[in-house]
Structure 1
Amino acid sequence: MTLVQGLDYAAVFIFGLTGALAASRAQLDIVGFIFLACLTAVGGGTLRDVLLNRDQVFWIADAGMILSASIAAVIVFFTAHFLESRLRTLEWLDALALAVAVPAGVGVAMALDQNWPIVLIMGVATGTFGGLMRDVVCNEVPLILKKGELYASAALAGAVAAVMTAAVTDTTLIILLICGVTTFALRIGSMLFGWCLPVYKSHPPRQ
């Protein structure tokens, strides 16, 4: 198993946990848990692989990805009621999944020798699209669109860090590690300390 495949597996499992937690908050049945876990787990990677025209979408090439997400769903179905706050747990797991999925997207794009703008887009898309689909299906305001949240910007910063690191070293492990650490640090900083980017504020029209 390659490093990128390992990252894909980790992202699938952790995003699967978040999808199942969202299902628990919506009080779905076990089939709903598995559906939402799988949708969340493979959404970003599917978009990445389709846009990059890879030979096969990653979870079709390796059905173990779907099994991993399904196992995550079953685990949460039987244990979610023990959690003090399922929403807070979802947010923390989502931050971890983001920090794994962005390097996975970056790694795939770099392995295909894509130019740096495509590397950035694939990193952000892989990290954010599954969670976006999860929140839309559950009729929640997507984390990526919440005011005052570093989410897509954290993913973008992680991808930028990877591109910059690749300019000075060709060691994939270092490149993707810095990508993940940057993404996670910014996302957690936003959650714990309120780090955010300035938001647009409209002004009254001039007379």
Structure 2
Amino acid sequence: MFYWIQIVGVLAFSMSGALTAMNKRMDAFGIFIIAFVTALGGGTLRDVLIGKTPVSWMEDLTYVNLVVAGFFLAIIFRKKLEYLRVSFFLFDTIGLGVFTLIGLEKGINIGLHPVICVAIGTMTACFGGVIRDILCNEIPVIFRKEVYATICIMGGILFFILRKFNLNEDILYLITSSFIISIRLLAVQFKWALPAIQHK
């Protein structure tokens, strides 16, 4: 199930990136690149930083195929996708929880300190969107509008707290991902955001 949820997350992220690029009136190549970095950019950066090469999508073409599928689906159904915005938001949120856990596990598996593992988890979940926004000439959303990354950090901290109680791994994954997904949904519903600090 963890693997299949990850696949849903990659597909949703790639379609989200493609739609963003279309809103910027990019050509087909630009749309594909934005879809690709949105879906796989965070994981690629993570693998490079932890010295894991070739990076994941180079070893398993499933991820590349998912990006290609998301690219074509976004183009073909672009006029109908507006009605599925809520569904995409839900997939995006599920992906956030799953990718955070993947990053945490990658860090744990190579013996990194919990603080670094939380950073790696947050990067895996969020930095595809950061790269997307930079390429689209926007200030990344997570730096100015939403508590997106903060939720990943909170989820990572909860993960390591619960880990001390020697919970079953599946239960640990379920609680952590459910926490991230729930807080994300509440944050959007109630418009939670960190205060902006202005220079006067």
- Shorter chain as normaliser: what TM range? 0.7 to 0.9
Q: Is the 8 A contact 2:74 2:81 kept in 1?
A: no
Task: Please give the secondary structure, in 2, of the residue aligned with 1:73.
Answer: helix
Task: Please give the secondary structure, in 1, of the residue aligned with 2:79.
Answer: helix
Superposed CA offset, 1:169-192 (max 9, x none):
253322222222222222222211
Q: What is the aligned-residue RMSD (CA, Å)?
A: 2.5
Match of 2:162 in 1: 165
Match of 1:180 in 2: 177
Return the match for 1:40 from 30, 38, 51. Answer: 38
**Letter of the structure 1 residue corresponding to residue 63 of structure 2:** M
Compare 53-62 and 129-138 and name the one that shifted more: 53-62
Match of 1:69 in 2: 67
Superposed CA offset, 1:131-170 (max 9, x none):
00111111223111124x2111011111111111211125
Task: Please give the secondary structure, in 1, of the residue aligned with 2:78.
Answer: helix
Match of 2:104 in 1: 106
Note the residue ranges of structure 2 that are not aligned, 5 or more in a row: none
Match of 1:122 in 2: 120
Superposed CA offset, 1:41-73 (max 9, x none):
111001111111124311111122111111111
Task: Please give the secondary structure, in 2, of the residue aligned with 1:43.
Answer: helix
Distance 1:41 1:74 in 2: 14
**Residue 77 of structure 2 corresponds to residue 79 of structure 1:** yes
**Letter of the structure 1 residue corresponding to residue 69 of structure 2:** I
Q: Is the 8 A contact 1:18 1:93 kept in 2?
A: no
Match of 1:26 in 2: 24
TM-score scaled by structure 1? 0.84
Match of 1:53 in 2: 51
Q: 1:122 to 1:7 in 2, by over 3 A?
A: farther
Q: 1:10 to 1:93 in 2, by over 3 A?
A: closer
Task: Please give the secondary structure, in 1, of the residue aligned with 2:174.
Answer: helix
Q: 1:110 to 1:170 in 2, by over 3 A?
A: farther
Shift of 1:199: 4.3
Match of 2:131 in 1: 133
Q: Is the 8 A contact 2:118 2:157 kept in 1?
A: yes
How many residue pairs were aligned? 200
Note the residue ranges of structure 1 that are not aligned, 5 or more in a row: none
Q: 1:90 to 1:28 in 2, by over 3 A?
A: farther
Shift of 1:198: 4.3
Compare 164-173 and 54-63 and name the one that shifted more: 164-173
Q: Is the 8 A contact 1:33 1:74 kept in 2?
A: no
Q: 1:19 to 1:145 in 2, by over 3 A?
A: same
Superposed CA offset, 1:95-154 (max 9, x none):
33322211111122223332211211111110111000111111223111124x211101
Q: 1:95 to 1:142 in 2, by over 3 A?
A: farther
Q: Is the 8 A contact 2:18 2:35 kept in 1?
A: yes
